Amino acid sequence: MPGRWLLKTEPGSYSYAQLERDRRTVWDGVKNPQALKYLATMAKGDEVLVYHTGDEKAVIGLARVVRGAYPDPNAGDVRMVVVDLEPVRALPRPVTLRELRTNENVAGFDLLRLPRLSVMPVSAAHWAEILRVAKE
């Protein structure tokens, strides 16, 4: 069973639309130790929710890990890892942080508990609820 993750990005730096245009990217720039631990466990085939930070604060699209964690070739530090992603599809509509905060079906989700964490696991139940809300 593939892992499920949420990755945050500032859309002014790198948006989901840019991932769709690029068709593949190296997900780098993660520096938080906990986020790096999570990134280091990501494997080929894992599923990803892409979340826009900043003014949007919403889950925007789905992506897939096409190359699991490996040392960042530009970092010079073996603790710094990256993964390669490809887009799957944009959500039918974004799911905002405000909606998630008021949805009891995602209570306890790290996005709500640890707002500064840029990489986090997503439970099967939370994943299903986010996709359900996106289709409304």
Percentage of the chain exceeding pLDDT 70: 99
Instruction: Convert the pLDDT of each residue in 64-92 to its tens digit.
Output: 999 999 999 888 888 899 999 999 999 99
Contact of 133 with 109, CB cutoff 8 Å: no
Question: How far, in Å, CA of 100 to CA of 93, rounded?
Answer: 14
State if pTM tops 0.75.
Answer: yes
pLDDT in tens, 48-65: 999 999 999 999 999 999
pLDDT digits (tens, 9 = 90+) for 92-103: 999 999 999 999
What's the token pair of residue 18?
Answer: 């840019």
**What is the number of domains present in the chain?**
1
Q: Show the domain range for 24.
A: 4-134
Residue 40's CATH number: 3.10.590.10
pLDDT confidence of residue 136: 63
